[in-house]
Amino acid sequence: MSDWNPQLYRRFEDERTRPARDLLARVALDAPRLVIDLGCGPGNSTELLVDRYPDAEIVGTDNSEPMLVEARSRLPGCRFELSDIATWRPGTPPDLIYANAALQWVGDHETLIPRLFEALAPGGVLAIQMPDNREELTHRAMRDVAALSPWSNHIDDAASVRTRILPLPDYYDLLAPRAAQIDVWRTAYQHPMESPAKIVEWVRSTGLRPFIDPLPAAERESYLAEYERRIADAYPPRADGRRLLAFPRMFIVAQRKP
């Protein structure tokens, strides 16, 4: 898969950062010393952490160099490190591990989630938000079009690139026996979008990447045209002409015993 494109990703930054804010609002820590932003992207989520905890040491990690370049120029006072979440282990136990819209790209949550939790300092908090949109029309249409010829000749098993996340109660079961406090919830944001093309633009920088990256230029164009046609049908115009994009997300905030 090609690398992330920070410019494209930042186009819907307000909409993307809202769940990051909602997640942070539920973190009941007053003065953490060490805060990790796992999968920090272009630094938008890291910036929220800096605003909330100006006295903390804040470290952003990501496995995309272009994202880290963007994050470093946005927040020169923070440290940003190249690392893969799947193998990441902190030198010093952090007080907060915050992962907004990142862990859905990493597999084996049954092992990963408890490991991240155990890496925290006593009393520390693990805060996670993940899109829960695999079964939304946007994502079903990606798979449906990919299964058709000629695109199916190039797209192998794109749907499996992004991990199938667990049902929300399973995260509760993984963490509740180890946690002093735990809070899990799911919200479906409703984003008014100017046009079907804007919906395509949004998913193009994230969920659509594994589908269009393997396609030669001509097939990519035709795939996107067919995908947009289906999106136009799936999201009809509302009273003001805009399309309402439902975007479910799940949230997990768990605190270790002191």
Residues that bind ligand SAM (CB under 6 A): 4, 16, 20, 39-41, 44-45, 62-64, 67, 84-86, 100-102, 105-106, 206
**Among residues 168, 38, 26, which one has the least CA distance to residue 102?**
38
Closer CB to ligand SAM, residue 39 or residue 210?
39
Query: At closest approach, how far in Å is the CB of 187 from ligand SAM?
Result: 15
Closest CA to 138 of 178, 95, 198, 61: 198
- Residue of minimal CB distance from ligand SAM? 41
Q: How far is the CB of 131 from ligand SAM (least distance, A)?
A: 8
| Closer to ligand SAM by Cβ: residue 32 or 39 | 39
- Residue 34 CB, shortest distance to ligand SAM, in Å, is 18
Are 57 and 33 in contact, with CB atoms under 8 Å apart? yes
How far is Cα of residue 217 from the mean position of the Cα atoms in its chain? 27
Report the residue number, 41 or 196, with the smaller CB distance to ligand SAM: 41
Tell me the residue type at 8. Answer: L
Number of H helices, E strands in the chain: 10, 7
The residue among 38 and 121 lying less far from ligand SAM, judged by its C-beta, is: 38
Q: How far is the CB of 206 from ligand SAM (least distance, A)?
A: 5
If the CB atoms of residues 86 and 244 are measured against ligand SAM, the closer one turns out to be: 86
Minimum CB separation from ligand SAM for residue 177, in Å? 26
Q: What is the smallest separation between the CB atom of 128 and ligand SAM, expressed in angstroms?
A: 11
230 within 8 A of 172, measured Cβ to Cβ: no
Which is closer to ligand SAM, CB of 102 or CB of 175?
Answer: 102
C-alpha distances in angstroms, 23 versus 46, 53, 143?
13, 15, 29
Cα separation, 7 vs 66, whole angstroms:
10
User: Residue written as tokens 């809070």?
Assistant: 183
